[in-house]
Amino acid sequence: MPDYLDDLRFAHVLADAADATTMDRFKALDLKVETKPDMTPVSEADKAAEEIIRGHLSRSRPRDAVLGEEYGVEGTGPRRWVIDPIDGTKNYVRGVPVWATLISLMEAGEGGYQPVVGVVSAPALGRRWWAAKGHGAYTGRSLSTESRLHVSRVSKLTDASFAYSSLSGWEERGRLDGFLDLTRSVWRTRAYGDFWPYMLVAEGAVDICAEPELSLWDMAANAIVVTEAGGTFTGLDGRPGPHSGNAAASNGLLHDELLGYLNGRY
């Protein structure tokens, strides 16, 4: 089996380049922000970060395909880099430091493309998380200062901490009742939002999290970090991986109950 460590090191190079670009414009008074057709914001930093990542990939991995939030898919083949230049753009444009660049390498296999490398870099928080298939998940400021991640061992929902992004998405999709029942059944709830809940699950600081609507670039890097930390990452339909258009992540011990509540089975 490939070890993917060269790809992981390269993903860190990509993240370094993106961090320099995004931090240069973070809290800039003249930051340019537009509204996309789906009514979500995109800043000049989103576009610049993705362009820089794509430039590095075209020079160093010209045979690999690329899928990015801002510029779509380019190329074909068994390896595909999936990029979200700024996950948490609404935070970014308001000066909230909870945002990250998500970089994942996905490889074709049984059941379609699956993530084999993931880097989640949140420079305004001074944090980075990463994983490669078969090598575990880690956090630190760099590869030389890494510490390994492990999900929690909480096995009772009444002892669990549940993280989410917002209430409105659950209501819009007719899942609010199950969501609220879940919040009443756990020890603690917090709306950290975006990439952060998944990283907290991987760290063992949070036990379960879920979101009702996501794109592949929102999930691919998070998925491998969670699973390599010993957790479980599926869609709300229980399908493993980042392909369901939504996500549920847990320490594994609570996953069936998590899905049960969010699918209205309790």
- Share the mean pLDDT of the chain: 93
pLDDT digits (tens, 9 = 90+) for 204-231: 999 999 999 999 999 999 999 999 999 9
pLDDT reported for residue 178: 94
How many CB atoms sit inside 10 A of residue 144's CB? 6
What is the tens place of the pLDDT at every residue in 19-46?
999 998 888 777 888 877 766 777 788 8
Average pLDDT over residues 98-106: 97
The model's pLDDT over 125-156, given as tens digits with 9 standing for 90+, comes to 999 999 999 999 999 977 778 999 999 999 99
* Helices and strands of the chain, counted as H and E runs: 8, 15
Determine what percent of the chain is predicted with pLDDT higher than 70.
98
- In angstroms, the CA 49 to CA 128 distance is 17
Integer CA distances (angstroms), 159 to 35, 51, 185, 208, in order: 41, 44, 9, 11
d(CA 36, CA 232): 32
Q: Which residue has the tokens 């362009």?
A: 51
Continuous H helices in the chain: 5-25, 44-60, 89-94, 168-172, 176-185, 196-203, 216-228, 255-262
The confidence score (pLDDT) of residue 233 equals 98
What is the pLDDT averaged over residues 7-15? 97
Which pLDDT belongs to residue 3? 84
Residue carrying structure tokens 């929902």: 157
Torsion angle (degrees, nearest 10) of CA 264, 155, 250, 19:
140
Task: Tell the burial category of 246 from Cβ atoms under 10 Å away from its Cβ (0-12, 13-18, 19+).
Answer: buried
User: What's the rounded Cα separation, in Å, for the pair 122 and 19?
Assistant: 8
pLDDT at 115 over 80: yes
pLDDT of residue 1: 65
pLDDT of residue 33: 81
> Given the DSSP bridges, would you call strands 208-211 and 161-163 parallel, antiparallel or unpaired?
parallel
Q: What are the CA-CA distances from residue 65 to residues 62, 100, 172, 242 (Å)?
A: 8, 22, 34, 18
